[in-house]
Amino acid sequence: MARRWTNTLKQADVTPEPLWLNRRQIMAGAGAMGAALLAGEASAEALEPNTWDEITNYNNYYEFGVGKDDPARNAGGLRTSPWSIEVNGLVERPGTYTIDDLIGGLDLEERIYRFRCVEAWSMVVPWNGVELNDVLDRVGVKSSARYVAFETVVQPEAMIGVRRKVMPFPYVEGLRLDEARHPLTMLATGIYGKPLANQSGAPIRLVVPWKYGFKSIKSIVRISLVADEPPASWPMLNPREYGFYSNVNPKVDHPRWTQATERKIGGGLFSSRVPTQMFNGYEAEVASLYDGMDLRIFY
Ligand SMILES: Nc1nc2c(c(=O)[nH]1)N[C@H]1C(S)=C(S)[C@@H](COP(=O)(O)O)O[C@H]1N2
Ligand SMILES: [Mo]
C-alpha cells in the first residue's frame, strides 16, 4: 500500500510549533491542493492542526477526572520515567520492555491525523510515533494471535479519578490483529515534536485515527496478543452505547446523540458543526478491513 499520508521526518527534523504553523500557513497560501501534496497527506484536503494548547487543555483521561480540563490540571504527578511495557500472550519474545527496547531504531514519523471523539467533537493532531505494525514484528506475533489487548497504567497516588473510582480501572482497549497491523495505526510518543504531555497519554499511547477516540488508549503498560476479542472499558461499561469496533460512522448514531456531524475544537464558540466523514475520512485506506460486516451490528 502506498504510504502517501506519511511524512518520514525523524524526531530531530520536527520543526518547533510556531515555525511549523507558519510553514502551514505559507503552504495554505500556495493552494490547498499543493499544500496537501507537499504535506504528503492522503486527501486533497489540507489539515490545519489544532494548537498545542488546544490539544493539551481539552482532554478525556478519566484517571485524572471527568471534566475536559481536569487532565491538564491533575496529571502533573504522573510518573512517566522509568517506564516499562509488559508484552505477553501469543508472542515469540514476551517480556518487560523499555520504550527504547520497544520502538528504538524504528521509523519515527510525524503524521497529521483527524481525531474524532464519540462525544462528537474533533481535532487535528500532529502526532510523532511509530507504526504499531513494526512493534508487533519486533516482538514476534504467533500465528494463533487474532487480537491485541492494551492496558493503561494505574498510579492511584497520582490519579484522582482512580481514587474516586469514576469508572473501573485499569482502562483497557483492544484491536483486531489486522486493525493493529494497519499502517495508519500508531504508537505515539509525541505531538508537535515534543514528548506527549501527561494529559495526552505520556509516555506512549495508541492512535487509531478511523475509530472513536476512546480506542486510542493512553499511557500503555501492557500489550497482550490474544486469541479472543479482549474486553474494552467503554463497551464493558455500556455495551448498548459503545461497541468493540467503534469505527467513526456518520450513519450509525449514538443512542443519545447524532454522529452525523461534529464540533471542531478551536473553531470558536459559535462555529457551526461540520459533517462527520465515514471512517473519519480514512475510508479509502480502511474500508476493506470490514468487507462483508454489517457496521450497524459491529458498531
Ligand atoms: N487510559 C485512558 N485512555 C483514554 C481515555 C481515558 O479516559 N483513559 N479516554 C479516551 C477518550 S474517550 C478519548 S476521546 C481520547 C482523548 O485523547 P486526548 O485527550 O489526547 O484528546 O483518549 C482516550 N484514551
Ligand atoms: Mo472520547
**If you ran DSSP here, which 8-state letter would residue 200 be given?**
G
pLDDT tens over the chain, length 299 residues: 334 344 443 444 444 555 555 545 444 444 444 444 444 444 446 789 999 999 999 999 999 999 999 999 999 999 999 999 999 999 999 999 999 999 999 999 999 999 999 999 999 999 999 999 999 999 999 999 999 999 999 999 999 999 999 999 999 999 999 999 999 999 999 999 999 999 999 999 999 999 999 999 999 999 999 999 999 999 999 999 999 999 999 999 999 999 999 999 997 777 779 999 999 999 999 999 999 999 999 99
DSSP 12-81: GGPPPHHHHHHHHHHHHHT-HHHHHHHHT-SSSS---PPPHHHHHHS---GGG-SSTTHHHHHGGG---S
Q: Which residues fall inside 5 Å of ion ligand 2, going by CB? A: 60, 117-118, 213-214
What residue ranges do the domains of the chain occupy?
A: 49-290
CA-based radius of gyration for the chain: 18
Q: Which fold has domain 49-290?
A: Sulfite Oxidase; Chain A, domain 2 (3.90.420)
Q: How far apart are CA 282 and CA 211, in angstroms?
A: 10
Whole-model pTM over 0.75: yes
**Protein residue closest via CA to atom 5 of ligand 1:** 61
**Protein residue closest via CA to atom 21 of ligand 1:** 59
Q: Of the bound ligands, which one is closest to the alpha carbon of residue 233?
A: 1
**If you ran DSSP here, which 8-state letter would residue 254 be given?**
B
Cα 32 to ligand 1 centre (Å)? 31
